[in-house]
Amino acid sequence: MTTEEKMNIHEHLKYLRILKPRYLAASREERGQLLTAMEEATGLHRKSLIRLLGGDLERHPRQQQRQPIYGADVTAALQVIAESFDYICAERLTPNLVWMAQHLEAHEELQLSAELLAQLGQISASSVGRRLANIPHDTPRLHRKGRPVGPTLTRDIPMLRIPWTEAEPGHFEIDLVHHCGPSASGDYVYTLQWIDVATGWSERVAVLGRSYRAMEDAFLRILRRLPFAVRELHPDNGSEFFNAHMLRFFGEKVHGARVSRSRPYHKNDNRFVEQKNSSLVRDYLGYDRLDTVAQTLALNQLYDLMWIYYDLFQPVLHLVAKEVLPATAEQPARLRRRHDDARTPFDRLSATCVLTPEQRAQLERLRDRTNPRRLRQAIYDQIEHVLSLPGAVPGQPEDVGLTLGVYTVSWDDDSSPVTLSIGEQLPVR
């Protein structure tokens, strides 16, 4: 075919029904020319076109159903792999079946044969989707602003959106998720989340309150753990980000990074982090109130587990093209988005060559040593632990200082990555 897009079977038949009267009325030479044009447009062989044009050009039910290609062993393997990926969609799961199956076999979660591995490599996303629909989920997900900033501090900070075509790692959208429950009174826990636009790399830290000390500590925790340089920080216009202390902190600690901000009342300017606020925070913690030191520390232990799971094991899709489709008689104009094959943030980061060989080797060793199935279960166990902790006692203040300076995972030159043992508390540095 000479066109980039392929027709589906309905479009084939519709196209041939339009040309059939011309084909039947044409001479032998003209029929040959029409068949050539049909070949180029549809990608079908001439003999197939002749056979179709001799029929009624309607779809008929299959007279004999095909035998299933994939057996129970494929479905059983998909169940284990889907659980290890936390039941992501078929489009994200399918390109990553083979390597995860081999990874799980190394951790004795699967037994693979050469035939099973070959079938996992050739199964389509639609076939995976049909099987996922019949796989029960063992652990259902839990579904449960600051003041305006004055113009003086933000006058020189540009308002923009990080382009979705950004290919350089290090351009982060940043946001705070409030865990205040039905009342925003008093101090409570926030989740500070960073999302890298180019790779999908995500960082999360829980803070108790929005004081400068708490925010500075959260930023330092992320900067200490992040294995690549920060090129841009892009929060919204919240006063927790844009105050004299934080602007001084950005200038002193985040060297060479541009600070930008979204436009007021344009939530979609931070669309990547807003989407992850839902899928990586709200879907797990809901809207309950968290307001104690114990809940903050437990939540950061959860986020340390999620840091390994989502950056090293969870494949993400990346938008590669947008196309405006004009209106037709059947449907109005619409925007078609195209995505590449799903890959983990670590794999996307490795493809950009921003990691040093030592950093990449450390992360690869950490992924090889980690059993993703057990790590996922540890994440859900920790969620239950966080939500089981009692809230603050009225009239009894919480000491925010007890949540500061607690770093668990570091990538400094003088440290090595934490070896995670499921069921064992992460060491405190």
Model confidence at 265, in pLDDT bands (50, 70, 90)? confident
Does pLDDT of 406 surpass 90? Answer: no
Residue 1 has pLDDT above 70, yes or no: no
pLDDT of residue 181: 92
Provide the pLDDT for residue 416. 41
Write down the pLDDT at residue 152. 67
- Beta-carbon contacts of residue 28 (< 8 Å; ≥ 6 apart): none
Question: Residue range 182-196: average pLDDT?
Answer: 93
How would residue 59 be classed by pLDDT, with cut points 50, 70 and 90? confident
Model confidence at 154, in pLDDT bands (50, 70, 90)? confident
| Sequence letter at residue 84 | S
Q: 133-142, 267-276, 336-345, 395-404: lowest mean pLDDT where? A: 133-142
Q: Map tokens 């060559």 to a residue.
A: 353
For residue 424, what pLDDT band results from cuts at 50, 70 and 90?
A: very low
Give the pLDDT band of residue 428 (cuts 50, 70, 90): very low
Determine the pLDDT at residue 253: 85
pLDDT band per the 50, 70, 90 thresholds, residue 139 = low
How high is the pLDDT of residue 286? 93
d(CA 207, CA 217): 8
- The helix (run of H) or strand (run of E) holding residue 35 is helix 28-42
Q: For 107-119, what is the mean pLDDT?
A: 93
The pLDDT of residue 417 is above 90: no
% of the chain beyond a pLDDT of 90: 61
Q: 425 pLDDT exceeds 50?
A: no
Task: Tell me what pLDDT residue 199 has.
Answer: 95
CATH class entry, domain 151-316+345-403: alpha beta
* Number of C-beta neighbours around residue 308 at 10 A: 23
138 pLDDT above the threshold of 50: yes
Question: Rounded mean pLDDT of the chain?
Answer: 87
Local structure of 232: helix, strand or coil: strand
| Strand 232-234 relative to strand 171-179, pairing | parallel
pLDDT band at 190 (very low <50, low <70, confident <90, very high): very high
How do the domains of the chain map onto residue ranges?
9-53, 72-133, 151-316+345-403
Residue 102 has pLDDT above 50, yes or no: yes
Distances (CA, A) of 409 to 187, 226, 428: 27, 9, 9
Tell which residue, 21, 29, 425, 104, has the closest CA to residue 96.
Answer: 104
According to DSSP H, which parts of 313-414 are helical? Answer: 345-351, 357-369, 372-388
Instruction: Determine what percent of the chain falls in helix, strand and coil, rounding each to the nearest 5.
Output: 45, 10, 45
Region 342-354: mean pLDDT is: 94
Q: Is the pLDDT of residue 423 over 90?
A: no
